[in-house]
Structure formats: structure tokens, C-alpha cells
Structure 1
Amino acid sequence: MDGYLGVIVIVAVVALLVIGGLFLYFRPGRKAPPPVLPPEAPALPEEEEKRPAAAGEEGEGATTTLPPPVKPAEPVVVEPEIEVPPPSAGRMVRLRSRLARSQSTLGRGLLELLSRDRLDDDVWDEIEESLITADVGVAPTQAVVEELRTRVKVLGSRTHDEVRGLLREQLLAQINPDLDRTLRVSPHGERPAVVLVVGVNGTGKTTTTGKLARSLIGDGRKVVLGAADTFRAAAADQLQTWGERVGADTVRGPEGGDPASVAFDAVARGIEEKVDVVIVDTAGRLHTKTGLMDELGKVKRVIEKKATVDEVLLVLDATTGQNGMRQAQVFAEAVNITGIALTKLDGTAKGGIVISVQRELGVPVKLVGLGEGPDDLAPFDPEVFVDAILGD
């Protein structure tokens, strides 16, 4: 009996222990066990960035190290290539064929008329008409015809070579090869020579200015350009482009600004840079506008406060004929023109304009434009001109 009671006691004690343990484990207010955390990932460096995992990468939130950002390269400024123009000497000889193509009709016609067996009044009238049609002018034509009639009577019979020689002599006499056609572009000590370029709109004035700069640089001179045509921004842009091609600085002002101020600044730049020549391109002026002509005189006076104006070149379109003569006369009244640049002489121009414009103004043709190319501006050579007209 005692053994039976002992077993009961043992069982009861075990049961109480089990019930007590369960009560302690599930009692209200008991704290939940801490969660089991995965291993901590290593910290990323500051320059590393997190990106989504790419296809084929394992794990969520995969990381990669990106290279530091690359600064964009500075834009490369390509300096325009500086051209080396050919010298001015011999240009008209090289361009003679262009003159011959455009002017030889006059020469052939005159030679054919003068070579006839019988030169009556009708033939002389035709000769006179040919010269006037070529824009030689009435007075020079009459002088040429009168002298030819006298010489033909003295000669009697005439060969082709004799007729050509007579005509060449008379045309040269009217063009006057003894006129000084030298461009005055030599500096005065530390002061540069100044060339003022004037003319009516559409004559090729700005282009002539750029070509003249090329010619002078080809002769070894240093040049500064003044874009005093402030009424047309395109004119200043065009002149600057001409200058950049040959390494010449261009002084320009605001659109609509004072042309005299730009001209003054250009001369000041020329003195500062110790250049040989300053070429000032003025606005193309309608010769009927008195106010604009007065302004042209002002430009010249303002320049003369700083330096001497050595040349005033009047640019004329040779194809305008006698209308160009009227323009020339008005400009001559506004400024003291020292020389003429005839443009487009290689085209449909009537070469007699060379004779008439010199006779009316008393100043020589110094430059002629014989094409559209940058180096087609040439110093005028009377003998080459006449020979091109008459042909070989």
C-alpha cells in the first residue's frame, strides 16, 4: 500500500511541474522572442550607387560601382586658315584674256572700218558711232576721229598693221598712260596710310575693299579694315570675312552707329598695331541724297584728326556707262577723289568709260575688277587694256 501511494505522489508532482511550466510559457504579457536577423550586408562607399538588378543577376537590390561622371570636352575652336594672296604685279597681264573676250568687239569693228579701201564720210560716221556706243564720250570721240582722219590722209595706203598702230596710238593718247596710277599706301612714320573707299550702292564697293586688302597683303603690307557702312550689318559681316581670310583685323561698330566714329577707331587701331594701311569702307550712298554726301565729308574730316587720308577711291560699275559718270561728278564735289576703281570691266562693260571718266574727273583709273574671284582686282595698265581691245 505504501508503495502504491509513493507512485501516486510522484505522478502528481510531475503533473504539477508540467502544468506550471506550460502556465509560465503561455502566460499573458510575456515578451515574444526576438526575430532571427539575416547577416548584415557591408556598407557601400559614398561614391557607389545602388541600382536594380539586371537580367541574370541574383539577389534583390544588387549593387554595382559606377565610374565618376566624365566632364564634356571643351568645344574645339578651329581657327580659319590664313590665305597668302599673290602679289598685285602682273595681274592685269594674267587677266588679259578676260578683257579680250569682252572688249574685242569694239577693236575688231574699228579695225575693219579703218581697213576699208575707201574711207568716206559714212565710214567715219560709223567709226564715230562705234566709239560713242562704247562710252568713250562725245568730246574724246571727236578728238580721236579728227586725228585719225588727218593721219590716214598722210599715210595714203594703209596696211592692217598700220591701221592697228594708228588706232592703238590714239586710244592710248586718250587714256593718257602718263597719269600717275600709283596707289599711295606707304605709311607716314608711325602713322599708317589711309584709303577711303566710296561709291553708290551696288557698285561692288565692299567687295572691292576686301579685294584691295588681299592685294596689299599679297604685296607684303599689313592692313586694318574699317567697316564704316553701319547701315547694313551684312556689309560689316562681309568685310570681316574678307579680313579673316588674310589675317587682317576689322573694326566695326553697332548697326546704325556713327560711321565717322568707326572710321576714327579703325585708324586708331591701325596706329596701335603699327600697320601700313587702313582701308575704310563707307556706306553706299545714293548720289541724290545731299545729307548722306555731307556725312561722307564728315567721315573724311574726322579721320584727318588722326591721320592723313592718302587715297579716296571711287568705285564705279563699268556697266552703268554714262550714268556712272554722273555719279562720279557728284562724289567729286563731296570729297577729293584721287583715283577710280572700275568694277565688272570683264563683262558687258563698254571699255570707253575708262577714257570718259578720266577726262571728266581729271583723276586716273587705278584699279579694275576683271572677274568674280578674290584676286581679280588688278592695277590698271593702259597698254595691256588697249592691246586687249585691239587683239593680237
Structure 2
Amino acid sequence: MTGFFSKLKAALSKTSSKIGSGIEHLFIKKKLDDSALEELEDLLLFADIGTSVSSSIITSLRKHKFDKEVTSEEIKNDLSGIIEEILSQQDHSFKLEDGKLNIVLVCGVNGNGKTTTIGKMAANSFAQGKKVAIAACDTFRAAAVEQIEKWAQRSGAILYKGESKADPASVAHMAVTESLSNGTDILFIDTAGRLHNHKNLMEELVKIIRVIKKIDEDAPHHSLLVIDGTTGQNAAIQVEQFKLITNISGLVITKLDGTAKAGAVVGIVKRFALPVHFIGFGESIDDLKQFSPKDFSRALVGLEMNQ
């Protein structure tokens, strides 16, 4: 088992203890009948996978294994395979173009780990030999600028910031213009943490996008929404609302080590057809990793990687 998979399995242990342990108690050499399927669906719902996806998983299991004698390991493997298939409908890789400035807009509700995620992504990109910059567009909170400034120093990124209370769109404009002139590979735009129902802040986000599109009509090349993994299915509301403002291209799920609701990832990917580019499960700069449907599915139900 790799070190990464060990970390992932430990991070998802609160969720997998619900699903995996439940399956072990439920399936001790018994037939997969209606009663067993009903109990299994309850386990999926408790893990916040969501009603429609849980129902489709149960339908798939019924089709292939109904009235057959099964073990807990068989059910775990089947369940993992079905979840992996659902998640694999999306290409979760995070692709950047060589030889041009890649503008990555990062947004999300306050407290979801957005700024920390940018710092970790910047550090990963810098370690790969990229020239990296960050635009500090959360200009109304001094603490936010200080936080992103520390991450820029840790990650080796250039930081663009304005005066206190500066117009966030003007900071974004400056950052894009200067990044284009100095050959930067990746510019991360850190926006103010906002609730989806904060109209003025959502309008501010619209303005940032409008301003950078005047420089590059294809910008932003990625619009990432950072979601707190402990939010569970309620994160779907955030995805819905942010998609109305910006063309969200992918998700980053943070704080998976603190939740028993990691199954919500499956439902959100299925419902919105959005990839999960990265998952975070710790405070270390190395605790943000690219999402793997296979690894996630196996860890979710408590399986080892090599089974």
C-alpha cells in the first residue's frame, strides 16, 4: 500500500466505518435479498451518497447479485467497482497548457479552505518547475491578504496585491497583465470567501471575470470551486449557485479527514458532471493530492489498494 493511499484510507475512515463495517455485519455468508439490499441502501444514505445515486447503485447490485450468496468482501468489491464507474465518467486530471498563461480562478464559501488550497496548488506547481503567481483579490479582509502572502512565500509564488480595500477586479487586471508580460505559467486568483446568497460579493466575482476576459477572452481557463467535505450533500447548493455566476470547471474537496459524509462526493460528481481535480485531507503542504476514482472508491468502502 502506498503512503498516499494509507493517508487517503485514514482520511476516509469515518465514512468507510459506516459503509465497510456495516457491510461486514450485514453480509456474513447470506443471500442478497430485498431486506439486505434495503439495509445496504441505508448505509449508503448514512454516508451521504444521496438518494438517487444510492438507488442506482442498489439497482446495479440487484441486477448482478440478487438472491445469490455473497460475502462482505464481495459486496465491498462490487460496491467499489460501481462507485468507481460513476466517478470515472469524468476526466479528473487537471490540465494546463504549455507556453501560455493559465489563469485559474478559485472561489468558494468562506471557511472552505480556499486560500490554503491555492497555497498548496501553487507549491505543487512551483515544485514542477512552473513560474507561479497569485492574485490576492480578497482585498476587504486584511487577514486574508496576510494569509495568502504567507502561502506565496512558502510556495515560491509571485504575489500581486493592491492597497487595503482596493477594487478586487483592478488587482486581478494588474495580476493578469503583469503575468503575461513576465512569462508566468500559472496565475491563481484568490477571491473573497462568499456565501452563495451574498449578492454584492457574487456581483464582485462577476466583475473580476468580466475584467480578465477583456485581456483574454478565454479566461479564466479553470474556475475551481472549493468545497468543505464536512458539508456533505448540502454542498450541492453551493455548486448550483456558483455555476450560475461562473462556468465552474472543476472541484476541490477539502477537510475529508474530518467527515463521515465523504460519500457526498459521488453524488455531486454524478449530479453536476463535474470533475474533482484535487482532494485535501490535512494541513501539510503535501496533503492536497490529485483525485483518483479507483483509490477514492476503494478507500470509501474500506478496501485495501491491492485487492
Q: Same fold (TM over 0.5)?
A: yes
**Amino acid aligned to 1:365:** V
Q: Is the 8 A contact 1:111 1:163 kept in 2?
A: no
With over 3 angstroms needed to count, the CA separation of the structure-2 counterparts of 1:158 and 1:221, relative to structure 1, is same
Cα distance, 1:234 vs. partner? 0.8
Q: Which among 294, 298, 302 is matched to residue 383 of structure 1?
A: 294
Q: 1:6-57 CA deviation, whole Å, 9 max, x = no partner?
A: xxxxxxxxxxxxxxxxxxxxxxxxxxxxxxxxxxxxxxxxxxxxxxxxxxxx
With over 3 angstroms needed to count, the CA separation of the structure-2 counterparts of 1:181 and 1:138, relative to structure 1, is same
**Amino acid aligned to 2:58:** V
Q: 1:212-271 CA deviation, whole Å, 9 max, x = no partner?
A: 101111222110000001111111111111111232111011222211111111112211
Q: 1:113-155 CA deviation, whole Å, 9 max, x = no partner?
A: 244514443332221111112111110000001111221127x
Identical-residue share of aligned pairs (%): 38
With over 3 angstroms needed to count, the CA separation of the structure-2 counterparts of 1:264 and 1:349, relative to structure 1, is farther
d(CA) in 2 for partners of 1:236, 1:123: 53
3-state SS, counterpart of residue 66 of structure 2: helix
The corresponding residue for 2:211 is 302
With over 3 angstroms needed to count, the CA separation of the structure-2 counterparts of 1:358 and 1:100, relative to structure 1, is closer
With over 3 angstroms needed to count, the CA separation of the structure-2 counterparts of 1:120 and 1:93, relative to structure 1, is closer
With over 3 angstroms needed to count, the CA separation of the structure-2 counterparts of 1:326 and 1:181, relative to structure 1, is same
The corresponding residue for 2:77 is 165
Q: Which moved more, 1:234-243 or 1:117-126?
A: 117-126
The corresponding residue for 1:10 is none
The corresponding residue for 1:284 is 193
1:312 partnered with 2:223: yes
Cα RMSD (Å): 1.9
TM-score by length of 1: 0.72
Q: Is the 8 A contact 2:26 2:36 kept in 1?
A: yes
With over 3 angstroms needed to count, the CA separation of the structure-2 counterparts of 1:100 and 1:205, relative to structure 1, is closer
The corresponding residue for 1:334 is 245
Q: Is the 8 A contact 1:92 1:380 kept in 2?
A: no
d(CA) in 2 for partners of 1:336, 1:100: 29
d(CA) in 1 for partners of 2:178, 2:201: 26
d(CA) in 1 for partners of 2:14, 2:114: 22
Q: Which among 155, 163, 186 is matched to residue 97 of structure 2?
A: 186
Q: Is the 8 A contact 2:49 2:264 kept in 1?
A: yes
**Amino acid aligned to 1:199:** G
d(CA) in 2 for partners of 1:380, 1:232: 31
Cα distance, 1:183 vs. partner? 1.6
Structure 1: state its 5+ residue gaps: 1-89
With over 3 angstroms needed to count, the CA separation of the structure-2 counterparts of 1:104 and 1:273, relative to structure 1, is same
d(CA) in 2 for partners of 1:181, 1:260: 29
d(CA) in 2 for partners of 1:243, 1:94: 29
Q: Which among 156, 168, 173 is matched to residue 247 of structure 1?
A: 156
Q: Which moved more, 1:192-201 or 1:367-376?
A: 367-376
TM-score by length of 2: 0.91
Q: How does 1:252-271 map to 2 (within 5 A)?
A: 252-271=161-180
The corresponding residue for 2:235 is 324
Q: Which among 14, 23, 41 is matched to residue 102 of structure 1?
A: 14
If each structure's helix is expressed as a fraction of its own residues, which one has the higher value? 2
d(CA) in 2 for partners of 1:321, 1:303: 32
**Greater relative CO, 1 or 2 (CA 8 Å, sep 6+):** 2
3-state SS, counterpart of residue 111 of structure 2: coil
3-state SS, counterpart of residue 346 of structure 1: helix
Count of residues paired in the alignment = 299
**Amino acid aligned to 2:173:** F
With over 3 angstroms needed to count, the CA separation of the structure-2 counterparts of 1:257 and 1:349, relative to structure 1, is farther
**Amino acid aligned to 2:247:** N
1:133 partnered with 2:42: no
The corresponding residue for 1:148 is 61
With over 3 angstroms needed to count, the CA separation of the structure-2 counterparts of 1:303 and 1:322, relative to structure 1, is same
Cα distance, 1:341 vs. partner? 0.3
The corresponding residue for 1:76 is none
d(CA) in 1 for partners of 2:85, 2:270: 12
The corresponding residue for 2:139 is 230
Q: Which among 259, 268, 282 is matched to residue 357 of structure 1?
A: 268
d(CA) in 2 for partners of 1:91, 1:216: 21
3-state SS, counterpart of residue 309 of structure 1: coil
**Amino acid aligned to 2:74:** E
3-state SS, counterpart of residue 263 of structure 1: helix
**Amino acid aligned to 2:228:** D
The corresponding residue for 1:343 is 254
Q: Which among 187, 193, 213 is matched to residue 122 of structure 2?
A: 213
The corresponding residue for 1:32 is none
